[in-house]
């Protein structure tokens, strides 16, 4: 069965493969990875220093791969609703539900963050009900501007490494760290290339495809992903480019890994050519300084100096300018600010950003939505009306 799915996957071109990579434990490469005795660690927030996990040398030459925990494919949230009540966002409930359904049993460990109120408080349920072999917390300060905060985060990174290391391996050697750092920098550069191809006058791929590639990136060992993406990029460049779109839009707001939202938007003829999401452009923003003598610190620095998530209680101006910059790069006709119902952070952040963006003369649409793509008809009506409003 495994090898079969593997064969099927192997026949496809690298691009097709990235676009159709099966989810979670059905992912043939994860099956392959685990079969070799390697470990997989899940994490929930973009403030998790992934490369540090990737650098940890496992016992007997095994490896440890970080994957980002998402909620794609979640069809019900019964148990999660019972545990968490209706005021918790559907993304948090979906991920927890998947975990309770055993969808994340392939994970050997989970790294949590003090990211947002909803997600951080599902830690207890993972710890007590899902019970991964390792579950650890990275306490991330809510400001990046002071050395004290940075040192705290830096220590948190080291502690996380040690906690995982002491169970399955050792602490990484300098060259192991350097390799991991290089791999992740390469990954970010390649993803930026994808964004460049999306921003072209004739974009080489749809937003939906871009999200699928991003999704694949969350769920493959980055070395392998980089390899495939390099080839996939050649395939993309060879494409004629999309011309029959109705409008170019940028997607901003709450956590979005499920392509179905983008599908809904693009089903109106709009093309999502860029985004300012923590699952997208923000995720690959900024590189680690490879020349640093203390690479762990350099990694921590990167996470503290990349464009912030509004859970950081500062820099709305920077985030607004970031969105303006992206909008210019990708020559967008409008920006869609979406937030998942009950997401306090992006509800208010979208008000701040969209008002400023509107003042700058870029058309904006604010959408409230559930994580799981229900109610698509009404979302679609809103988006279509938005396009009509901006004369597209």
Partner 1 sequence: MIFAGVDVGSMSAEAVLLDEKGIIAYSIIVVKPNPVQSATIVMEDVLKQSGVKLEDIAFCVSTGYGRERIPFAQHNVSEISCHGKGAVWVNSKIRTIIDIGGQDCKVIRVDGDGNLVDFVMNDKCAAGTGRFLEGIAKTFGMHVSELGALALRGVNPVPINSICTVYTNFDVMCFLADGWSKEDIALGVANVLAKRLVTLINKVGLEEEICVSGGVAKNQGVVRALEQAIGKKVQSLPVDPQIVGALGAAIFAMERYRILGERKKVATN
Partner 2 sequence: MILGCDIGTALTKGVILAEGEYIFGTSVLTRANAERAFEDLLEAIRRERGFKLDDFKEVVITGWGEGRIRLPHRSEPTMKCIAQAAIWDLPSCRFALCLGAQQSSALILNDRGKVLDYRINDKCAAGAGRFLDIIFEALETTPEESADIARSADKKIAMSSQCAVFAESEVVSLVNDGESVANILEAIFRSLVSGVVALSKRLPIRGEIIVGGGLANNLRIVELLEEGLGKKVKVFRLGPSFIAAMGAALSVNGGVR
Partner 3 sequence: MKNNSSLIKYDYLRRLNVTCDLLRVALSSGAQTLPELVANWPQIKAELIKEHDEEYVQHLFELVFPEVAEALLNPKHLQPTIKFAIALKKYVLDLGKYLDEGKPVVYNWPTFTPEVWYAMGVVPVFPFEAFAGLLSGLYTDGLEAENDEAEKQGFAFHICSFTKGPIKAIEVGKLPKPDLIIKNSSPCDSSNLNYQYAAYVNKCPLLILDSPYYTNQRALKYYVQNVREMLEEGQKITGMKLDVDKLRYHCEISNRQMKYMYGLQRLRKEVPCPDPGMMRFLDFGTLVLCGHSDLVPAYLEQRYKEVKERHERGETFLPPGKKEIRTLWSWGWVANMFYLPHWLEETFGSTYMECQLSYLPEDITGFVDTTNLDTMLEGLARRSMNFVMHRTAMSYSDIWVNDFVTIARSHKVDVAIFGGNRACKHAWTLCKILSDALQEQLGIPTLVWEHDVCDKRFMPHSKIKELLTEFFTTVAQ
Catalog residues that contact partner 1 under the rule CB under 8 A.
Answer: 368, 375, 377-378, 381-382, 384-385, 388-389, 391
Quick one: what does residue 385 bind among partner 2, partner 1, partner 3, none, with the CB cut-off 5 to 8 Å set by partner type?
partner 1
Nearest to 34 by CA among 22, 24, 21: 24
| 124 is an interface residue for partner 2 by CB under 8 A | no
Distance CA 285, CA 301 (A): 13
Among 10, 59, 78, 192, binds partner 2 (CB under 8 A): 78
Q: Which of 11, 35, 82, 361 binds partner 2 (CB under 8 A)?
A: 82
Q: Is 172 helix (H, G, I), strand (E, B) or coil?
A: coil
Which of partner 1, partner 2, partner 3, none lies near 124, with the C-beta cut-off 5 to 8 A by kind?
partner 3
Cα–Cα distance measured from residue 392 to residue 279, given in angstroms and rounded to the nearest whole number: 28
Pick from partner 2, partner 1, partner 3, none: which does 3 bind, CB < 5 to 8 A by kind? none
Residue 6 or 137 having the CB closest to partner 3? 137
The β-bridge partners of 113 are 138
Nearer to partner 2, 93 or 366 (CB): 93
* Listed ranges 216-224, 250-258, 289-297, 312-320: which one lies at the site for partner 3 (CB under 8 A): 312-320
Residue 349 binds what, of partner 3, partner 1, partner 2, none (CB under 5 to 8 Å, by partner type)? partner 3
- Could you give the CA distance from residue 184 to residue 180 in angstroms, rounded to a whole number? 6
What is the rounded CA–CA span in Å between residue 354 and residue 343? 16
Nearer to partner 3 among residue 229 and residue 356 (C-beta) = 356
Nearer to partner 1, 360 or 385 (CB): 385
Rounded to the nearest 10 degrees, what angle do helices 222-238 and 207-218 cross at?
160
Tell me the H-state helices in the chain: 2-11, 14-19, 28-35, 50-55, 78-84, 90-100, 117-120, 123-125, 147-168, 174-199, 207-218, 222-238, 259-266, 295-305, 316-329, 344-359, 376-389
According to DSSP, the residues that pair with 275 across neighbouring strands are 251
Q: With CB under 8 A as the contact rule, which of the stretches 60-68, 179-187, 297-305, 345-353 interacts with partner 3? A: 345-353
Smallest distance, partner 2 to C-beta of residue 126, A:
18
Pairwise CA distance, residues 25 & 100, whole Å = 15
Give bridge partners of residue 41 from the DSSP assignment.
66, 109
Q: How far is the CB of 121 from partner 2 (least distance, A)?
A: 17
CB distance 233 to 190 below 8 Å: yes
DSSP state of 269: T
Q: Which does 260 bind (CB under 5 to 8 A by kind): partner 1, partner 2, partner 3, none?
A: none
Q: Which is nearer to partner 1, 283 or 342 (CB)?
A: 342
Query: What is the pattern of x (binds partner 3, CB under 8 A) and - over residues 53-82?
Result: -----------------------------x
Binds partner 3 (CB under 8 A): choice among 9, 178, 352, 390: 352
Residue 158 is a binding residue for partner 3 (CB under 8 A): no
The answer to whether the CB of 100 falls within 8 A of the CB of 129 is: yes
What residues numbered 239-298 form the site for partner 2, per CB under 8 A?
Answer: none
Q: Closest distance between partner 2 and the C-beta of residue 374, in Å?
A: 4
Extract the tokens encoding 30: 């994860």
Q: What is the dihedral sign for C-alpha 128, 132, 133, 139?
A: negative
Does 129 engage in binding with partner 2 (CB under 8 A)?
Answer: no
Q: Exposed, middle or buried: residue 1 (CB in 10 Å: 0-12, 13-18, 19+)?
A: exposed
The answer to whether the Cα torsion of 211, 214, 216, 219 is positive or negative is negative
Site for partner 3 in 189-228 (CB under 8 A): none
Contacts with partner 3 by CB under 8 A lie at 82-88, 114, 116-118, 120-124, 137, 139, 141-143, 146, 148-149, 152, 155, 310-311, 313-314, 316-317, 341-342, 344-345, 347-352, 366, 368
Contacts with partner 2 by CB under 8 A lie at 75-76, 78-79, 81-82, 374-375
């Amino acid at each position: 069965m495994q090898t079969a799915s593997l064969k099927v996957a192997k026949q496809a071109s690298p691009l097709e493969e990235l676009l159709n990579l099966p989810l979670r434990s059905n992912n043939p490469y994860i099956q392959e990875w685990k079969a070799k005795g390697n470990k997989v660690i899940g994490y929930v927030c973009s403030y998790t220093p992934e490369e540090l996990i990737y650098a940890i040398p496992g016992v007997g030459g095994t490896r440890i791969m970080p994957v980002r925990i998402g909620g794609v494919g979640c069809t019900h949230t019964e148990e999660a609703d019972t545990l968490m009540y209706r005021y918790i966002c559907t993304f948090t409930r979906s991920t927890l539900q998947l975990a309770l359904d055993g969808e994340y049993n392939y994970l050997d460990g989970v790294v949590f963050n003090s990211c947002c109120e909803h997600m951080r408080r599902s830690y207890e349920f993972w710890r007590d009900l899902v019970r991964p072999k390792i579950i650890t917390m990275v306490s991330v300060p809510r400001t990046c501007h002071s050395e004290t905060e940075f040192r705290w985060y830096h220590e948190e990174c080291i502690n996380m490494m040690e906690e995982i290391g002491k169970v399955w391996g050792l602490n990484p050697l300098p060259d192991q760290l350097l390799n991991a750092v290089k791999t992740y920098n390469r990954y970010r550069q390649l993803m930026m290339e994808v964004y460049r191809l999306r921003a072209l006058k004739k974009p080489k791929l749809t937003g939906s495809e871009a999200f699928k590639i991003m999704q694949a990136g969350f769920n493959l060992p980055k070395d392998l992903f980089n390899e495939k993406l390099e080839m996939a990029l050649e395939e993309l460049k060879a494409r004629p480019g999309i011309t029959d779109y109705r409008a170019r839009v940028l997607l901003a707001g709450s956590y979005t890994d499920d392509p179905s939202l983008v599908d809904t938007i693009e089903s109106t003829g709009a093309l999502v050519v860029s985004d300012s999401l923590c699952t997208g452009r923000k995720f690959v923003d900024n590189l680690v300084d490879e020349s640093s003598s203390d690479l762990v610190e350099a990694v921590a620095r990167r996470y503290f100096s990349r464009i912030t998530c509004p859970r950081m209680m500062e820099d709305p101006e920077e985030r607004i300018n970031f969105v303006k910059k992206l909008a210019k790069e990708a020559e967008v006709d409008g920006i869609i600010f979406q937030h998942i119902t009950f997401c306090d952070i992006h509800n208010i952040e979208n008000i701040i950003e969209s008002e400023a963006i509107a003042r700058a003369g870029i058309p904006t649409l604010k959408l409230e939505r559930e994580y799981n793509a229900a109610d698509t008809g009404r979302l679609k009506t809103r988006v279509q009306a938005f396009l009509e409003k901006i004369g597209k």
